[in-house]
């Protein structure tokens, strides 16, 4: 059985269309399936739509978070609930083409344990978002040691992979974790479709916060910036020290206070940047050691009709 995991936040107009489209496609290809909708604390009628589907259909489970915990938590909840031999994660707005699920499933039947959806074209995405995404994946790919360019949450995982990810306690970056666990992988290319209803819930500020959070949660590379800045400051200090010593020997003092002020401001900036990076990692450690759950499910609905 295939578990179809669909995270949703304020997507009331997309829920039924997503179910009807994907379910019809899977039935046509004789693939047994269950649907797990995870409502990430929506403010609209998303959960009401999910509840209505669970009453009408025989293969729908719905989870409702007590508040918005972000997409990574919604995916974690879906994976923890999935009961299939494999699971696919797909967005409710159907910008991930549902027909690719069939291709992914056939590759899984051939023995692949992770089938990764790779973006071939990003659709009519804003130029700033496109540039930011390219920069983010370039940075995290270098840090991680494997190419994550154009990766997405759209992927199919074997049962054993789902079980391993479910056992991982940290609040990790799903796309990076699915690379990190290893296993037999392959990819499927797709073009991002246009959103039919609603609009993207991602703001530029939110994307920046999301990117920085995931980089720091998956890599300690930013901590090395502190070391690099320290080395750079040491080199600059040696240069100015030699310069001052030479001026002392030849009897010429450094002119004015400008140089001293510039050096002081520069050193202060380096110290503040370093403390900021260290402080952010301490905050991440603090969040982890508190041991709070990744999400809180306030209510659950599940189809109780069999054989419909």
Q: What's residue 63's pLDDT?
A: 92
pLDDT in tens, 164-206: 888 887 766 677 777 777 788 888 888 777 666 555 555 555 5
Q: What's residue 307's pLDDT?
A: 42
Q: What's residue 36's pLDDT?
A: 92
Q: What's residue 296's pLDDT?
A: 87
Q: What is the DSSP letter of 52?
A: H
Distance separating alpha carbons of residues 35 and 41, to the nearest angstrom: 18
pLDDT-flagged residues of the chain (< 70): 121-151, 171-173, 194-224, 241, 244, 247-248, 251-262, 305-308
- pTM, two decimal places: 0.68
Give the torsion sign (CA, 187, 192, 197, 202): positive
Distance separating alpha carbons of residues 54 and 242, to the nearest angstrom: 76
Judge contact between 148 and 175, C-beta under 8 A.
yes
Judge contact between 15 and 50, C-beta under 8 A.
yes
23 is written with which tokens?
A: 């379910």
- For the chain, give the number of residues: 308
Residue 267: left (phi > 0), alpha (psi -120 to 50), or beta?
alpha
Q: What's residue 308's pLDDT?
A: 42
Q: Which of 219, 204, 75 is nearest to 141 (CA)?
A: 219
């Amino acid at each position: 059985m295939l578990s179809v995991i669909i995270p949703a936040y304020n997507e009331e107009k997309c829920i039924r269309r997503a179910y009807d489209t994907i379910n019809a496609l899977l039935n046509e290809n004789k693939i047994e399936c269950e649907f797990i909708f995870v409502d990430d604390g929506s403010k609209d009628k998303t959960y009401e739509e999910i509840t209505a589907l669970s009453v009408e259909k025989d293969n729908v489970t719905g989870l409702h978070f007590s508040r918005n915990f972000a997409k990574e938590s919604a995916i974690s909840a879906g994976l923890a609930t999935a009961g299939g031999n494999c699971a696919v994660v797909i967005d409710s707005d159907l910008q991930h083409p549902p027909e690719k699920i069939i291709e992914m499933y056939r590759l899984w039947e051939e023995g692949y344990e992770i089938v990764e959806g790779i973006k071939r074209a990003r659709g009519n995405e804003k130029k700033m978002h496109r540039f930011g995404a390219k920069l983010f994946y370039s940075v995290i790919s270098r840090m991680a040691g494997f190419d994550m360019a154009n990766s997405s949450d759209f992927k199919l995982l074997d049962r054993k992979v789902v079980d391993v990810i479910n056992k991982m306690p940290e609040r990790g970056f799903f796309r990076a974790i699915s690379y990190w666990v290893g296993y037999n992988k392959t990819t499927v290319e797709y073009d991002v479709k246009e959103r039919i209803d609603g609009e993207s819930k991602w703001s530029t500020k939110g994307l920046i916060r999301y990117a920085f959070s995931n980089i720091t949660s998956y890599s300690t590379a930013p901590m090395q910036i502190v070391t690099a800045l320290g080395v750079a400051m040491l080199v600059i200090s040696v240069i100015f020290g030699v310069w001052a010593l030479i001026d002392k020997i030849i009897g010429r003092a450094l002119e004015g206070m400008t140089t001293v002020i510039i050096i002081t401001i520069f050193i202060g900036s380096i110290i503040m940047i370093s403390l900021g990076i260290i402080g952010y990692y301490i905050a991440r450690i603090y969040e982890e050691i508190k041991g709070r759950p990744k999400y809180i499910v306030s209510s659950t609905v599940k189809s109780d009709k069999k054989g419909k």
